[in-house]
Amino acid sequence: MTITLIGYRGTGKSRIGARLAERLGQPFVDADVELVRRAGRSIADIFRDAGEAEFRRLEAELLEELLDGSPRVVASGGGAVLDARTRERMRSAGPVIWLQADAPTILARLAADPASAGQRPALTGLPPEVEVRQLLAVREPLYAQTATLELPTADRDVESLVTEIIDRLGPDATAPDASEIRR
């Protein structure tokens, strides 16, 4: 079974995903990192040179491959839920964990991560505060529709979050069918 982490950027998908995979003894794949590796250019470069539609196509293609149900933890890109087929693939591959944070927490985390701005482009050209709030308004219903488990991450450390995920997944975390996991 594939465990997929979803949520807006800055909610902890990469850090929590890597640690969760380590604790479960499974491989970890950060979809954004893998997409950059395969494309041979940054997400910002893909957006600038080919546009968001091409980036989303590449993202959906990669996730189609990663969400094959194999035992692994996948940190999806924040906008991966925009694609209906990808949302369905996530749910059919295994549990989907929505890592949540409010706009002020996300903005503070992004500001504290200087690499974020260079690697991930602004999507709207609006001030960061406005963009985050607008994109959260669009994406949160999709995250909620897709998630089998929701987990607020503000003011929490990685280790306690990973422990909670493992506890909530229960003893069947590595079983082939974890579709019965509840929020």
Q: Which domains does the chain have, with CATH numbers?
A: 2-164 (3.40.50.300)
The pTM for the full model equals 0.89
Query: pLDDT of 46-96, one tens digit each?
Result: 989 999 899 999 999 999 999 998 999 999 999 999 999 999 999 999 999
- Mean pLDDT computed over every residue of the chain: 89
- Whole-number Å distance between alpha carbons of 17 and 29: 8
Q: Which two tokens stand for residue 49?
A: 């040179």
Determine the pLDDT at residue 50.
94
Q: Which residue, 147, 155, 163, is CA-closest to 20? A: 163
- DSSP-derived pairing of the beta strands 96-100 and 2-6: parallel
21-47 mean pLDDT: 95
Strands (E), the chain: 2-6, 28-30, 72-75, 96-100, 149-152
Residue 150 in this model has a pLDDT that exceeds 90: yes
Q: Quick check: 101 pLDDT over 50? A: yes
The answer to whether 92 and 151 are in contact (CB under 8 A) is no
Polymer length in residues for the chain? 183
